[in-house]
Amino acid sequence: MRCNICDEPTMMFMNEKQQMLYYHCSNCEYIFKHPSVYKEINDQKERYDLHENEDDNEGYRAYFKRFLDFVLSLVQKPKNALDFGCGKSTLLASMLQEEGIDCDYYDPLYHPDGLDEDKKYDLIVSTEVFEHLQQPKEVFESLLKRLNSGGYLAIQTEFHPNEMGPFMHWYYTQDPTHIVFFTVETFEVLSTLCQCRLVDDNGKNIVVIKKK
């Protein structure tokens, strides 16, 4: 099977504990589960409904503050932003509003009417979304089209260890809705293919990409 990031051949391997097939691309370090386990987004809602992400939860606010502290230190003061795949909560959008950044939010399950097809943004943020996507390159390209020239895309998703032993025991794969996995190198390759530039990463789970 070919990589759906860079279209290079992949290596298939089995996670014996999970009894699940994976594919690994040595070119861009992208890893994905066998497509037979993918579920349509409406079928994933039951899992998402279990998330206890209340807007008044101080831990949840602190979680987003760490994300924003990293991202906003790298981008010029954006006038507007979009939180793509926000889930039930609109807390991140509210926190961007508190920073003086007008922010829209969209989620295909919980806030499906939040996208203006003609509107462009200086900043798009997407936290804990990309690991759920069957076609992440297509979504990446669609988000770039929603950015103004020189705008920024900030993505948060856990980077996999890119070593077979640690990967086999990595907690992040145990969520059945997590089907694709990235490293910084994956986003470097994706950025090059899409003619944009990876500005920085935090070495753990955040990349910031600038549209040319």
**12-26, 48-62, 115-129, 175-189: segment of lowest average pLDDT:** 48-62
Q: Look up residue 93 and give its amino acid.
A: A
Residue 114 confidence (pLDDT): 77
Average pLDDT for residues 145-173, to the nearest whole number?
97
Phi first, then psi: what are they for 198, rounded to 5°? -80, 115
Cα–Cα distance between 127 and 160 in angstroms, integer? 16
**C-alpha distances in angstroms, 181 versus 9, 25, 91, 107?**
16, 11, 25, 21
Between CA 6 and CA 23 the distance in angstroms is 13
57-211 belongs to which CATH class?
alpha beta
- Please indicate, yes or no, whether the overall pTM of this predicted structure exceeds 0.85: yes
Mean pLDDT throughout 187-203? 98
Residue 45: what pLDDT?
67
Beta strands in 51-193 (DSSP E): 80-84, 102-106, 121-127, 147-156, 180-181
Where are the chain's structural domains? 57-211
pLDDT per position as a tens digit, 97-114: 999 999 999 999 999 997
Q: Which of 19-28, 33-42, 72-81, 127-136 has the weakest average pLDDT? A: 33-42
Above 70 in pLDDT, residue 50?
no
> Mean pLDDT across the stretch 80-90?
95
pLDDT at 53 over 90: no
Average of per-residue pLDDT across 129-150: 97
